[in-house]
Structure 1
Amino acid sequence: MAIKLVTLDLDNTLWQTDPVIIKAEQACHRWIVENVPQAAEFYTFEALHEYKNTIAECYPQLRHKVSELRFEVLRRVFLQAGISGDEGRQKAQQAFEVFYQARSEVTLFAGALDALTTLQKNYSLIALTNGNADLTLIGIDHLFDAHFNAEQLGAAKPQPDLFRAALSHAGVTPEQCIHVGDHQEQDIVAARRLGIKTVWVNLTDAAWVEDECTPDQEINHLCQLPAAIQALQ
């Protein structure tokens, strides 16, 4: 059966995520220091990072709602600094927007843009992510037909919701779809459970450790992606 849809993970598949998040958190904290200095007295950069982890542990329902989680952390920080109500929420939104803008300043992995441009000519492309990257801010939204995230659907990979949303949106069966991602369980195993073929983006030359299945294709550079997709036709 012909492949019609390619779904792609984003973070650590198309770009390296951890350095971007750190820079975004630093930008957010600088904004707090400059605009709400009394809150910065309570929370250093490191303390704010730890507080976010604490809130995530205390409220597991927020773990996949990454934007809502960060907003709630900021709202609580400003509340502790004596800023409550509408003003506190406004400050939290402003601080979050600083974070979110910086979070979208990613550098695509080598070969990523060319691969997406090539694939987009022959397949429907849909982004599936547990994160909150903004394809419009990044500048690649024109290459995708849709973008689903865990916060939007209320469930994160390896749950099947994101994959099912993509299949429904494109009007295709699992046999007509290939999923591309870096995470062994959240991307490859999760997709295979639904009967979707997979391409494992293994840019770090890691060993495969999952027993449930193996990827249909493995690539070590994104320039190899179009050929890997074609091989699964």
Structure 2
Amino acid sequence: MALKLITLDLDDTLWHTTPVMQRAEQACYDWICAHCPGFADLYSRDGLRQYKSELAECYPSLQHQISRLRFETLRRAALQTGCDSSTAHDLASAAFEVFSQERSTLELFAGAETMLQQLSARWPLIAATNGNADLERVGIHHYFSAHLNAETVGAAKPQGDIFLAALAHAGVEAHECLHIGDHPHHDIDAARTVGLHTLWVNLDNRIWPDTFSPPTLQVRTLSEVVELIQRWQQP
């Protein structure tokens, strides 16, 4: 079997996502509180997060459009403080820019950049993620031939749309593609369901859940990835 494409998850595969998101949300909240009088009186940070969840429930089409959902949450909350429509839009845009900058300021896992260099030198590499990190700001965009996420594709993993879009973009068949990711359901089982081979990045030494068929390959450090794929490819 000749491997012709690798798709790669980002959040919690290349970096720890939770601390990045916490810092980004705090920076965004602090900024809009400082620039929108009365905002802090209406919403705490947790309250704003709850409001975002309520909007997602009311507007299901926004659930996978996470950037638009966050912007819309900020815009509507600003309107509630008494801002006019234009001011609320500008405040939400600026606050979201603060969030986006912090969201994409992160530290890669050990071995991640070397892995990206080696993978992209051998195979086309497509980012396939539910998240909205800006790869140019992260500094790794040049390793990828495409960046597909839930917002651009119109559906989030574990739905298979992102994988199908990657196959179509590269012009390859499912059995010619390997997906690398950390999440047993959203990455490994979802990719397997549409026919991709899979490599589970298991940095935390977790036990594979019995509810899913096992991955094709598994690593415990990113430094193992390229060598393992090469051995798997050998006849």
TM-score in same-fold range (> 0.5): yes
Q: Structure 1 regions of 5+ residues with no counterpart?
A: none
Give the Cα separation in 2 of the matches to 1:45 and 1:37: 15
Letter in 2 for 1:97: E
Q: Give 1:59's aligned residue.
A: 59
Correspondence for 1:86: 86
Is the Cα–Cα contact under 8 Å of residues 185 and 212 in structure 2 kept in the other structure? no
Equivalences for 1:28-43 in 2 at 5 Å?
28-43=28-43
CA distance in 2, matches of 1:210, 1:5: 28
Other-structure match for 2:174: 174
Shift of 1:212: 3.7
Counting only pairs closer than 5 Å after superposition, residues 49-198 of structure 1 correspond to structure 2 as 49-198=49-198
Partner of 1:47: 47
- Determine if the alignment matches structure 1 residue 218 to structure 2 residue 218: yes
Q: Which amino acid letter does the alignment assign opposite residue 88 of structure 2?
A: G
Percent identity for Structure 1 against Structure 2: 51
**Amino acid corresponding to residue 171 of structure 2 in structure 1:** G
Q: In the superposition, relative to structure 1, how do residues 81 and 20 fare at CA in structure 2: closer, same or farther (>3 Å)? A: same
| CA root-mean-square deviation | 1.2
1:50 is displaced (CA, Å) by 2.2
Task: Tell me the SS of whatever aligns to 2:215.
Answer: coil
Structure 2: distance between partners of 1:186 and 1:110: 23
How many Å separate the matches in 1 of 2:46 and 2:98?
18
Please tell me the residue identity of whatever aligns with 2:149: N
CA deviation after TM superposition for structure 1 residue 87, in Å: 1.7
How far off its partner does 1:210 sit? 4.4
Alpha-carbon displacement from aligned partner over 1:81-137 (angstroms, at most 9, x marks no partner)? 011312211111111111111100111011100111011111000000011111111
- In the aligned structure 2, how far is the partner of 1:117 from the partner of 1:42? 47
**1:15: how far off?**
0.5
Could you tell me whether the CA contact under 8 Å between 1:175 and 1:196 is conserved in 2?
yes
CA deviations on 1:24-52 (whole Å, 9 max, x unpaired) are 01101111122113112211222222222
In structure 1, distance between residues paired with 2:109 and 2:187 = 18
- Matched with 1:202 is 202
Q: Which amino acid aligns with 1:120?
A: S
Amino acid across the alignment from 1:96: F
- Give the whole-Å Cα distance in 2 for the aligned partners of 1:92 and 1:116: 34
Change (3 A) 1:169 1:69: same
Q: Secondary structure in 1 aligned to 2:207?
A: coil
Q: 1:232 to 1:174 in 2, by over 3 A?
A: farther
How far is the alpha carbon of 1:206 from its aligned partner?
1.0
1:37 partner SS: coil
2:127–2:146 Cα contact (<8 Å) kept: yes
